[in-house]
Amino acid sequence: MRKLDVAGPRGIIRRYRDHLPVGDDTPVVTLDEGDTPLIFSERLSSKVEAEVWLKYEGLNPTGSFKDRGMTLAISKALEEGSQAVVCASTGNTSASAAAYAARAGMVCAVLIPEGNVALGKLAQALVHGAKVFEIEGNFDQAQKLTQQMSEQHPFTLVNSVNPYRVEGQKTAAFEVVEALGRAPDLHVMPVGNAGNITAYWRGYREAHELTWSSSLPAMFGFQAEGANPIVRGEIVQDPKTVATAIRIGNPASWSGAVDAATSSGGRISSVRDKEIIEAYKGLAEEGVFVELASAAGVAGLLEMHRAGAVPAGSTIACVLTGHGLKDPDWAMSTAPRPRKVEADIEVILAQLDMA
């Protein structure tokens, strides 16, 4: 049977191989990640009097942006003869590592902070066969342990300190530039371990060097107020936020985030949990389901608008890092219960006030 034609190569390694550290012998471990939609937001655009585009990274194969870096990190680990990978995670990295390691036939060990990983992410890591350890400690402690494991034992570390992760993730900036025909004026996103803002800034700079865009964006990153070490300029020993994905007190790519913000004319700031929750609800109201951490960028954008810091008519890319289905517990805790009724149309219509 003839295969359907596809509109070009799938997966970020095949699509961008000339711009990634791969050779003819690099195996390609892929789930066709990337090529995510850039959705125009009518609601946010009118609110902030600018053009707001949402880069919906929740539509990657495992439901977060991590897949872009993981396809490359796992492919390179396989090329280098590694048989096992390890990562510390607030959830999404472990879900992605577990899926790509399963595909590559590699062992995957993950260390997660006990009680602070959303259910969907934990389910993913378990279903894909990772060896999951809930440590009695936070993400920063898990990160230290995985660093030691990779230095002293035959595990390849696939956290974003692995340079291939950032290389893979920079392709999201390429896609934004392709979709808009140039870089946005402002780029806003959440910041946790700070690998992703480092990656976007690299992607935009490369796109500029390649003349895909004549301009560069100002980069704005947002940490949760209770987990904002970069804003404070010091490690937060006991980070706290409802947005568990970015509950990080000592980010590995700290300097990358500072460099992105300062050299682009942007900033790293904090947003309150309350604002994150509001932004989460607002996105849901326009049909876009994200996890809490993903709403931090939107919360930050709204805060910037209130402070008069959004130039009227500017073009803004806002990254939505993970899918809302990752965290069904949070979603259900704030949503109304379904109504139990008889299987009777009149009863249902009466309840809808439409009888």
The least CB distance from residue 121 to ligand F0G, in Å, is 7
Q: Smaller CB distance to ligand F0G: residue 291 or 303?
A: 291
The least CB distance from residue 345 to ligand F0G, in Å, is 41
Q: Which residues contact ligand F0G (rule: CB under 6 A)? A: 64, 66, 89-93, 160, 190-196, 245-246, 291, 293-294, 321-322
CA distance 254 to 199: 12
The least CB distance from residue 49 to ligand F0G, in Å, is 26
Tell which residue, 135, 202, 193, has the closest CA to residue 167. Answer: 202
CA distance 298 to 291: 12
The least CB distance from residue 86 to ligand F0G, in Å, is 12
List phi, psi (to 5°) of 85.
-125, 155
Q: Smaller CB distance to ligand F0G: residue 190 or 300?
A: 190
Tell which residue, 40, 317, 39, has the closest CA to residue 174. Answer: 317
Q: Smaller CB distance to ligand F0G: residue 106 or 320?
A: 320
DSSP 8-state secondary structure symbol assigned to residue 29: -
Tell which residue, 348, 333, 346, 202, has the closest CA to residue 277. Answer: 333
The least CB distance from residue 228 to ligand F0G, in Å, is 12
CA distance 195 to 165: 8
Per DSSP, the three-state class of 222 is strand
The least CB distance from residue 17 to ligand F0G, in Å, is 23
Angle at 271 between CA 269 and CA 276, to 5 degrees: 145
CA distance 107 to 99: 11
Q: Smaller CB distance to ligand F0G: residue 75 or 90?
A: 90
Please answer whether residues 163 and 192 qualify as being in contact, where contact means their C-beta atoms are separated by less than 8 angstroms: no
Q: Smaller CB distance to ligand F0G: residue 92 or 270?
A: 92
- How many DSSP H helices and E strands does the chain contain? 15, 10
The least CB distance from residue 157 to ligand F0G, in Å, is 13
Q: Smaller CB distance to ligand F0G: residue 96 or 182?
A: 96
Q: Smaller CB distance to ligand F0G: residue 87 or 182?
A: 87
Task: List the beta bridge partners of residue 70.
Answer: none
